[in-house]
Structure 1
Amino acid sequence: MTAPEITDVLHERALRLLQEDASKIEKLIEVQMENLTTRHCPLYEEVLDTQMYGLSRQVDFATRAGLIGELAGKEIVSKLERNLAVLYEAMERKG
């Protein structure tokens, strides 16, 4: 394998791992959206916020290390932030 091929493999792997972590957070958001009929749970919000913060730090590191492109990193975080905003708006309306 040549150096560029190794770099491509590392980029793909880093992006895949970050997307897997983002998918886990997406599932947490989906579960909470499905359970809006239950009472508001600040602990769940805290878990989501902590997970989002951790993922954003991972994305920042991967971007700074050159493992993923800046645009790819922003897309991962932005999608989750939009979904989280929808969840919080729905929770606020219910509240």
Structure 2
Amino acid sequence: MAVPIETDIHQKALFLLREDAKKIEQLIGVQLANLTLPKCPLYEEVLDTQMFGLSREIDFAVRVGLIYREDGQQILHELEQKLADLYTLILEG
């Protein structure tokens, strides 16, 4: 059973993590729009670094009890889906 998390702190932590995820999405969108080769090592390096950083932020927030693990996993899943959709749009366009 999960320990209850204080609602205000929980909501603020989720908001900030989602904002960080949105920044990654925007950064990758700009890179994909400006690169002729989306499989470019630079693109992949930035994506890996940004995703790793966000996953570490989420892990920290879970460990200190700011968010539930499921919330963090949902943020990562949603970002991965958005990036996959964006990647598909760029390749088709």
TM-score (norm 2): 0.73
Given residue 39 of structure 1, which amino acid in structure 2 is its aligned partner? L
Any unmatched runs of 5+ in structure 1?
none
CA RMSD of aligned residues (A): 2.7
Distance 2:18 2:89 in 1: 25
Distance 1:71 1:34 in 2: 32
Any unmatched runs of 5+ in structure 2?
none
* Partner of residue 37, structure 2: 39
How many Å apart are 1:13 and its aligned residue?
1.3
How many Å apart are 1:34 and its aligned residue?
3.1
User: 1:29–1:83: 8 Å Cα contact kept in structure 2?
Assistant: no
Q: Deviations over 1:8-45 (max 9, x none)?
A: 22111111110110001111232244346x13431121
Corresponding residue pairs, total? 87
State percent identity of aligned pairs.
56
Given residue 69 of structure 1, which amino acid in structure 2 is its aligned partner? Y
- Look at both structures and tell me which one has the larger radius of gyration over its CA atoms: 1
TM-score (norm 1): 0.71
